[in-house]
Amino acid sequence: MNSKRHENIVIPATIQGYTIHDLLLQAETRLQPLSQTPRLDAEILLAHCLNQSRSYLHAWSDLCPDSHHVEQFHRLLQRRIQEEPIAYLIGYQNFWSLQLRVTPDTLIPRPETELLVEQALERLPAEQPAEILDMGTGSGAIALAIASERPHARLLATDNCQKALEVATYNAARLGINQVRFLQSHWYQQLPAQPFDMIVSNPPYIDQDDDHLHALRHEPLAALCPVGNRPDDGLSALDEIIHHAPDRLKSGGWLILEHGFAQQEAVMDRCREAGLVEISGHTDLAQLPRIVCARKS
């Protein structure tokens, strides 16, 4: 009889039921048709249910989890089969150096958005105070990442969704980041009358008729598509942010925006029309146009 000693208890694999190895193999098979990373998905979900690391699964592959954990795993697996994102199933997403709580009220932070953080940090001297505005903060990912690297900066992070702001506020408190203030606002509407050294935003930029929206159907539509979006471009939120940015930036202040991969030329044109200078476009890790930076003269 195969068994493994775990925490001084001998657990006979052939008696107790499915082993970790069995559960992962079955889950990987079920996830194969819908996920590009079926094994990784299975390991993340099972490790979450067991409150253990993925390396634990490898070290104790013939351990048989108790029925409670197996049932929890099967429930999450079924939701993943319905294409619910892993981050919502386990309740968090890693971004930059931070682990952030996420819910269906917040967009899931993407690796490509880290490029926005990188571009912001390049323009923020480490020891210099700065006033920064993050619009459409969601889980707080951008604001908290910048704050974690620039302790002398003060940030105002806004979102039109109160539930998203509650998630962002929770993340700031859990991470011990106290120089970010949160405010419910639709873009510039409820902002205090103060200029900023930098404005950053990953606004909604997907057109409502875009075929990719189906794959994102579990995420908040308002964080993906601009409200009152004009047909075929998804640029209305970006337009509003760019148009009013010169009135909200200090002289020499920066505007840094994420956009869709086909929108960079249009975003740069709008920055020129707004009178901004030193306009540059940047590509993400997939070499797709993703970020525009522009400066107020």
% of the chain with per-residue pLDDT over 70: 93
| 179 plus 272 within the same structural domain | yes
CA 119, CA 291: separation in Å to the nearest integer? 9
CA 280, CA 292: separation in Å to the nearest integer? 6
pLDDT of residue 42: 98
| 129 plus 242 within the same structural domain | yes
- Six token digits for residue 1: 């009889």
| 51 plus 174 within the same structural domain | no
pLDDT-derived band at 8 (thresholds 50, 70, 90) equals very low
% of the chain with per-residue pLDDT over 90: 83
- Of the listed ranges 11-20, 220-229, 250-259, 275-284, the one predicted with least confidence: 11-20
In a domain, 93, yes or no: no
| 21 plus 147 within the same structural domain | no
pLDDT-derived band at 4 (thresholds 50, 70, 90) equals very low
Q: What mean pLDDT value characterizes the chain? A: 92
| 40 plus 157 within the same structural domain | no
Which is nearest to 134 in space by CA: 182, 92, 76, 63?
182
Q: What angle do CA 145, 202, 35 make, to 5 degrees?
A: 85
| 63 plus 176 within the same structural domain | no
Segment 89-106 shows an average pLDDT of: 97
pLDDT at 12 over 70: no
Question: 15: domain CATH number?
Answer: 1.10.8.10
pLDDT-derived band at 47 (thresholds 50, 70, 90) equals very high
In a domain, 229, yes or no: yes
| Helix locations, the chain, DSSP H | 13-16, 20-31, 38-50, 54-59, 67-81, 86-90, 114-122, 141-149, 162-175, 236-248, 264-273
| 42 plus 116 within the same structural domain | no
| 111 plus 250 within the same structural domain | yes
110 vs 4 pLDDT, higher one: 110
Structural domain harbouring 206? 101-295
In a domain, 270, yes or no: yes
| 79 plus 105 within the same structural domain | no
Other beta carbons within 10 Å of 34: 12
pLDDT in tens, 242-264: 999 999 999 999 999 999 999 99
Contact indicator for 139, 171 with CB cutoff of 8 Å: yes
| 261 plus 158 within the same structural domain | yes
Dihedral angle sign, alpha carbons of residues 34, 35, 39, 41: negative
Contact indicator for 93, 41 with CB cutoff of 8 Å: no
289: left (phi > 0), else alpha (psi -120 to 50), else beta?
A: beta
pLDDT of residue 82: 94
- Six token digits for residue 97: 């150096």
Domain endpoint, select from 56, 83, 110: 83
pLDDT in tens, 204-216: 988 887 877 888 8
Segment 178-188 shows an average pLDDT of: 97
In a domain, 89, yes or no: no
Phi and psi (nearest 5°) for 51? Answer: 55, 45
